[in-house]
């Protein structure tokens, strides 16, 4: 299972840890400060991400999920110090809106599973965060400051993480190339647009998504905002209206 993760060095203190052997192509991000490290998302939980992280930092690690979906919290079991948004606390204590058997199907779908992985042992992470977030908080790592931005739409407690000094924006499932998901009952297309309005106002230099291509430029945020604006103007920004293609990205409503 050592070759499950792919590591990309983004700068000398920032890494992308990716799971390309699964169709989700989930990315987690390790941000190292002088005092501690922040792990943004912990992936699918198919392989032990902590073994990789321990080779990239010797600082205490706090895990923080962009949102409490199965593919972003799979490695939380290795990090008792983790933060979560208030709006999704119930998903961490038995009220996740999808059954475990459905999630297991997602895990094994279009995936090169390690030989020693047993889907019957798979569990959705449950736990109590060491800190509850609401948006607007700043997380100091020692020489690095990360701002929490509440960006609901894909999920009620979805968060983006903004590092102003570097111009880094970690967008989770709010922004990535491919098909954005806004059709689940727990999604909110109108809130999605409002969140895009918020982050499009930031002077972003680099975008780090939670899925698929890492070759993504800040201008896509403006294009997504404008696409959602167009759908709203046409009366289509609601569940059930369809899937809309905008070139290198689309959205399913």
Quote the CA–CA distance of 41 and 79 in Å, as a whole number. 11
183 class by beta-carbon count within 10 Å (0-12 exposed, 13-18 middle, 19+ buried): middle
Checking DSSP bridges between strand 206-209 and strand 26-32, what pairing results, if any? unpaired
Range 58-77 average pLDDT: 97
pLDDT of residue 116: 87
State the chain's mean pLDDT as an integer.
96
Please report, to the nearest 10 degrees, the dihedral formed by the alpha carbons of residues 72, 75, 76, 77 taken in order.
150
Does pTM surpass 0.95?
yes
| For residue 2, pLDDT beyond 80 | no
Q: What Rg, from alpha-carbon coordinates, does the chain have?
A: 17
Q: Give the tens place of pLDDT for each residue, 216-247.
A: 999 999 999 999 999 999 999 999 999 999 99
Range 63-91 average pLDDT: 97
Quote the CA–CA distance of 98 and 82 in Å, as a whole number. 22
38 to each of 14, 63, 161, how far by Cα in Å?
10, 6, 11
Range 49-63 average pLDDT: 97
Write the DSSP string, 137-158. Answer: -EEE-SS-EEEEEE--SSSTT-
Which of the residue ranges 36-40, 46-50, 95-99, 140-144 would you say has the lowest mean pLDDT? 95-99
Going by pLDDT thresholds of 50, 70 and 90, the confidence category of residue 1 is: very low
172: phi > 0 → left, psi -120 to 50 → alpha, else beta; which? left
Query: Do 69 and 155 form a contact (C-beta atoms < 8 A)?
Result: yes
User: Could you tell me the end-to-end alpha-carbon distance of the chain, in angstroms, rounded to an integer?
Assistant: 36
Range 99-122 average pLDDT: 91
> For domain 6-174+205-217, is the CATH number 3.40.50.720?
no
Q: Where are the domains of the chain?
A: 6-174+205-217
Place of tokens 């209206």: 241
In terms of Cα–Cα distance, which of 26, 45, 38, 89 is closest to 64? Answer: 38
Quote the CA–CA distance of 225 and 85 in Å, as a whole number. 24
165, two tokens: 């000094």
124, two tokens: 């959705």
């Amino acid at each position: 299972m050592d070759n499950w993760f792919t590591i990309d060095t983004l700068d000398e203190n920032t890494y992308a840890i990716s799971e390309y052997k699964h169709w989700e192509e989930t990315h987690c991000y390790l941000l190292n400060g002088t005092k501690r490290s922040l792990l943004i998302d912990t992936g699918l939980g198919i392989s032990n991400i902590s073994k990789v992280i321990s080779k990239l930092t010797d600082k205490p690690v706090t895990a923080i999920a962009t949102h409490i979906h199965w593919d972003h919290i799979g490695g939380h079991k290795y990090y008792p110090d983790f933060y979560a948004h208030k709006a999704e606390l119930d998903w961490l204590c038995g009220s996740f809106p999808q059954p475990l058997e459905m999630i297991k199907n997602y895990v094994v779908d279009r995936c090169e599973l390690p030989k020693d992985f047993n889907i019957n042992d798979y569990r959705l992470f449950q736990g109590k965060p060491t800190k509850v977030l609401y948006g607007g908080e700043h997380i100091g790592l020692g020489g690095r400051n990360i701002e929490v931005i509440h960006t609901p739409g894909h999920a009620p407690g979805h968060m983006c993480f903004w590092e102003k000094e570097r111009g880094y924006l970690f967008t989770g499932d709010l922004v990535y190339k491919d098909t954005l998901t806004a059709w689940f009952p727990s999604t909110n297309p109108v809130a999605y647009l409002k969140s895009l309005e918020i982050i499009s106002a930031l002077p972003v230099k680099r975008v780090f998504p939670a899925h698929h291509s890492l070759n993504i430029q800040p201008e896509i945020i403006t294009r997504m905002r404008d696409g959602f604006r167009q759908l709203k103007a046409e009366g289509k920004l609601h569940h059930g209206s369809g899937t809309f293609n905008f070139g290198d990205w689309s959205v399913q409503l």
